[in-house]
């Protein structure tokens, strides 16, 4: 039996099902889950800091999930640091949540890379589980009222004019 005659005999749903299965992993449209909804509150306590999202009420929060072993995260750190410096007096806070298990490696990384924005270590990954985050880096922009406004997956250049403009408008 010829291959093409077998394919022609397949019902239409047998051809579309694999395609739909692959596409179901993608966001439906341009609005990822959580956009326009309240950001889940969390508390993370490590040896250095206790971070509660509610402590940032009234500020724009750039919530970044990252790890020292993640190459795109490492690439993004200087840009996040510059963002914090640029907006620190404008009601914006960069908050990093690291999923690193190795406390010493985490602290060495912070020192070696001059990370000066607030970051906390959550080795049990409870916070990123709460947000449904499993790719790193992943960043949520939360407005002054605690509503998630944007989500980025992957390293971002936080100095891009479109992003700076968006954050400027949120911070005003």
What pLDDT, on the 0 to 100 scale, is given for residue 122?
A: 95
Q: Is residue 17 part of a domain?
A: no
Here the CATH number for the domain that contains residue 62 is 3.40.30.10
Q: Is residue 11 part of a domain?
A: no
For residue 49 the two structure tokens come to: 């800091």
What pLDDT, on the 0 to 100 scale, is given for residue 7?
A: 45
Q: Is residue 1 part of a domain?
A: no
Cα–Cα distance for residue pair 51/65, rounded to 1 Å: 13
Burial pattern 127-141, b for ≥16 Cβ within 10 A else e, equals bbeebebeebbbbbb
Q: Is residue 10 part of a domain?
A: no
Could you list the residue range(s) of the whole structural domain that residue 150 is in? 33-171
Domains in the chain, number: 1
Q: pLDDT tens for residues 11-21?
A: 544 444 444 33
Strand, helix or coil for residue 2: coil
pLDDT at 106 over 50: yes
pLDDT at 23 over 90: no
What pLDDT, on the 0 to 100 scale, is given for residue 34?
A: 73
Q: Is residue 68 part of a domain?
A: yes
Better pLDDT: 129 or 11 = 129
């Amino acid at each position: 039996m010829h291959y093409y005659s077998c394919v022609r005999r397949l019902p239409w749903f047998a051809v579309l099902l694999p395609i739909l299965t692959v596409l179901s992993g993608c966001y439906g449209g341009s609005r990822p889950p959580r956009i326009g909804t309240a950001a889940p509150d969390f508390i993370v306590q490590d040896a250095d800091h206790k971070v509660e999202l509610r402590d940032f009420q009234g500020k724009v929060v750039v919530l970044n999930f990252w790890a020292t072993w993640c190459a795109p995260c490492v690439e993004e750190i200087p840009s996040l640091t510059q963002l914090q410096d640029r907006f620190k007096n404008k009601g914006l806070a960069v908050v990093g949540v690291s999923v690193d298990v190795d406390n010493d490696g985490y602290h060495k990384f912070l020192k070696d890379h001059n990370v000066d924005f607030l970051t906390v270590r959550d080795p049990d990954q409870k916070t990123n589980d709460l947000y449904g985050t499993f790719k790193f880096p992943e960043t949520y922009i939360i407005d002054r009222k605690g509503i998630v406004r944007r989500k980025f997956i992957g390293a971002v250049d936080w100095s891009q004019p479109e992003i700076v403009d968006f954050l400027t408008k949120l911070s005003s």
